[in-house]
């Protein structure tokens, strides 16, 4: 791996906590990239794992010496502290985020690099993680789209493992809020969207957590109540910074409550269906 003629260098940041079942697939999806020469390093932050995550990464590193793989071990401090440490250690001028239970499609970086090479004003770029079309106010996003803060309030996108952004953004606005465990990605992304050119391409280029839904299933996203609380905190912070009007703020409070109730009902219905299937 090394820099190319356009001086685009990616540092891939992978936080990992007890990821022994998925970390190999995540790493392999990076080394399989068609535009792998744009990657200058792969940084894994082992966030105090108590399983075999560390040894699996070390073995992968030994088996793939042609890649610049860096492993940092730290006490458990949460995913935000892990991402912050990884980005601080990064030497690339672009950051690519990847969670340890997600995988990139082989052409993920290739597709995104072609977009930023053809659109010099892009500071941040994400893509889709499902086959579902992202819609804002009922309007589908079916081409390269420059998002606004209001857009992200209505629909938080993209998913973390799809995101790439210039490292200078992190240097200027700071990193993730390490006191937060829920919706910290949304909080960070909203700060970026306020001040930089925040773009989205509607193509699915990753496999998210084995293809599962993004709420009410597993991990941190399984706690719908705390996800709702985190989203409300993000909204409140936006209003405090006067990034949104009071009328829009009040409208979103109602909208978030309706969305919260909908998610609870969806999860209950699926749980009841599962229990019914077990009884058959």
For the residues of 249-270, what is the DSSP string, one character each? HHHHHHHHHHHHHHHHHHHHHH
pLDDT level of residue 276 (50, 70, 90 thresholds): low
Q: Which CATH architecture does the domain made up of 10-211 adopt?
A: Alpha-Beta Complex (3.90)
| CA–CA dist 244, 230 (Å, integer) | 17
- Report the percent of the chain where pLDDT is more than 90: 82
- The mean pLDDT value for 164-172 works out to 98
- Its pTM stands at 0.90
Of 151-155, 174-178, 213-217, the least confident: 213-217
Mean pLDDT of the chain: 91
| CA–CA dist 241, 237 (Å, integer) | 6
| CA–CA dist 148, 194 (Å, integer) | 8
Give the rounded distance of the alpha carbon of 113 from its chain centre: 17
- The mean pLDDT value for 149-173 works out to 97
Of 29-38, 56-65, 76-85, 212-221, the least confident: 212-221
The predicted pLDDT at position 6 comes to 56
Contact status, residue 244 vs residue 238, Cβ threshold 8 Å: yes
N residues, the chain:
280
Residue 279 has pLDDT above 70, yes or no: no
Of 12-16, 155-159, 274-278, the least confident: 274-278
pLDDT tens digit sequence for 191-210? 999 999 999 999 999 999 86
Residue 275 has pLDDT above 80, yes or no: no
């Amino acid at each position: 791996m090394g820099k190319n003629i356009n001086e685009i260098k990616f540092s891939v940041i992978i936080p990992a906590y007890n990821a022994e079942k998925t970390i190999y697939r995540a790493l392999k999806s990076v080394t399989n990239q068609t535009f792998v020469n744009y990657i200058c390093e792969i940084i894994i932050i082992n966030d105090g794992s108590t399983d075999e995550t560390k040894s699996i990464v070390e073995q992968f590193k030994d088996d793939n010496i042609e890649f610049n793989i860096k492993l940092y071990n730290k006490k458990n401090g949460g995913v935000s502290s892990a991402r912050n440490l990884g980005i601080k250690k990064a030497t690339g001028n672009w950051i690519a985020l990847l969670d340890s239970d997600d995988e990139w499609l082989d052409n993920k970086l290739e597709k995104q690099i072609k977009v930023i090479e053809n659109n010099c004003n892009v500071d941040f770029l994400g893509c889709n993680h499902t086959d579902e079309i992202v819609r804002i106010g009922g309007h589908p996003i079916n081409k390269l789209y420059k998002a606004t803060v209001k857009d992200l309030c209505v629909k938080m996108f993209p998913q973390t493992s799809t995101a790439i952004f210039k490292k200078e953004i992190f240097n200027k606005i700071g990193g993730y809020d390490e006191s937060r465990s829920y919706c910290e990605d949304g909080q960070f992304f909203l700060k970026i969207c306020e001040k930089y050119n925040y773009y989205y391409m509607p193509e699915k280029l990753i496999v998210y957590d084995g293809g599962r839904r993004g709420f009410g299933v597993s991990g941190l996203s399984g706690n719908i109540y705390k996800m709702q609380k985190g989203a409300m905190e993000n909204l409140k912070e936006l209003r405090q910074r006067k990034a949104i009007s009071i009328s829009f703020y009040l409208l979103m409070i109602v909208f978030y409550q309706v969305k919260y109730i909908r998610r609870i009902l969806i999860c209950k219905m699926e749980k009841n269906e599962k229990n019914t299937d077990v009884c058959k």
